[in-house]
Amino acid sequence: MIIEFASSINNRSFRIYRLASGRAPLELSFVRDVHGPEQLVIFDGDEGKVATLHHDTELRLQKLTERGRLLARGLLALPLRGIYIAIDQLQLTARGDRWDPRVHDRVTDVMRDALAPTAVEFVEISWEAILSDPDELT
């Protein structure tokens, strides 16, 4: 599986990671109800700094698949300001004004763990390409 990623040209701390082949197979989806109205589950990065998760955080975790919950819990441990989990992509805001390569490496580790046993390769693409429909590029 190939995961594409790119940082926003207007906000270097904002980055999208998505499956390169369009929609995820249902068994790889991060969000539980792929046909429901809420297909983007949002977490504040500070939620991971508390000893016990807030009730609202627990409710949002329930909207995710088991794979999505594993992904969210891993991401909450990282230095991120914002975590947005969709069916087949992540939208992440790092702390600071741009992405640190060490944070990227930790994000890729969390994604590999969540998508295991599927092998994952990460490829950086342009911001314009990541905003386009991946199916239009093939």
Q: What CATH code is carried by the domain that includes residue 120? A: 3.30.1370
Cα–Cα distance for residue pair 99/57, rounded to 1 Å? 25
pLDDT in tens, 70-89: 999 999 999 999 999 998 89
In the prediction, which pLDDT does 137 show? Answer: 40
Provide the percentage of residues in the chain whose pLDDT is more than 90.
Answer: 50
User: Contact at 8 Å (CB) between 108 and 121?
Assistant: no
In the prediction, which pLDDT does 93 show? Answer: 95
Residue 43 lies in a domain: yes
Q: Which domain holds residue 51?
A: 2-132
Residue 138 lies in a domain: no
In the prediction, which pLDDT does 36 show? Answer: 66
Which of 19-33, 82-96, 97-111 shows the lowest per-residue confidence on average (mean pLDDT)? 19-33
How far, in whole angstroms, is CA 137 from its chain's centroid? 21
Residue 80 lies in a domain: yes
User: Contact at 8 Å (CB) between 35 and 103?
Assistant: no
Q: What mean pLDDT, rounded, does the chain reach?
A: 85
In the prediction, which pLDDT does 124 show? Answer: 96
Give me the half-sphere count of Cα atoms (radius 13 Å) on the Cβ side of residue 138: 6
Write b or e for each residue in 7-35: b if 16 or more Cβ atoms lie within 10 A of its Cβ, otherwise e. Answer: beeeeebbbbbbbbeeebeeebbbbbeee
Q: Is the pLDDT of residue 24 over 70?
A: no
In the prediction, which pLDDT does 81 show? Answer: 92
Q: Is the pLDDT of residue 91 over 60?
A: yes
**What is the DSSP code (8-state) at residue 68?**
H
Residue 79 lies in a domain: yes
* Structural domains in the chain (count): 1
Residue 137 lies in a domain: no
